[in-house]
Structure 1
């Protein structure tokens, strides 16, 4: 559990189109085996400590000729941003993916001083 000790709590969010591989016959659409796409995201403002980040598929377009296989995660979370990582494997054909994200955590004290 992440405890938030500050009265300054920030929440940021967004949507990111990771790829649209059917347009150019990219690896997610035509490939086989393990595949991965990464996209860096920067927060609107830095957090005091690395925040909690949630990610979820908000749109995906896949072929109906194979099983649907997907893994989406937030990795490398820092005070300034993180990476969205989408993975698929085997014969799954993914045309395009959009991921929604939300972050929340402590913000630095705007007044520049701390109480001890």
Structure 2
């Protein structure tokens, strides 16, 4: 369990279409073997410590005649952002993918930073 020393917990979330490879065919739709797509996310303000980031698939359009093999994750998580990764392998063919992400971590108390 992760415990936060701060009383101020920030939660930021969003959704990203990682790719739409059906309209403009690329490797995720036409390829085979290991393939990966990455997209950067920048948080609206920095966390005090590296936040916990969770990922969920909110839309997936795959080829109906191939097996679904997909790994989605957040990498390179820092106080200012992360990278969303989607990786497929073998004969998997995906046309479209949208991910939701949520970052939770300690943030600064805005009342601590006031001018006199």
Does TM-score exceed 0.5, indicating one fold? Answer: yes
Q: Deviations over 1:53-104 (max 9, x none)?
A: 0001110100011101100001000000000000000011100100001110
Give the drift of 1:2.
1.9
**Runs of at least 5 residues in structure 2 that lack an aligned partner in the other structure:** none
Query: SS of 2:24's equivalent?
Result: coil
RMSD over aligned Cα, in angstroms? 1.2
TM-score by length of 1: 0.93
- 1:12 is matched with 12
Matches within 5 A, 1:4-43: 4-43=4-43
> For residues 65 and 3 of structure 1, what CA distance do their matches in structure 2 show?
45
> For residues 80 and 109 of structure 1, what CA distance do their matches in structure 2 show?
17
- 1:57 is matched with 57
> For residues 29 and 100 of structure 2, what CA distance do their matches in structure 1 show?
21
Query: SS of 1:15's equivalent?
Result: strand
Moved over 3 A (4+): none
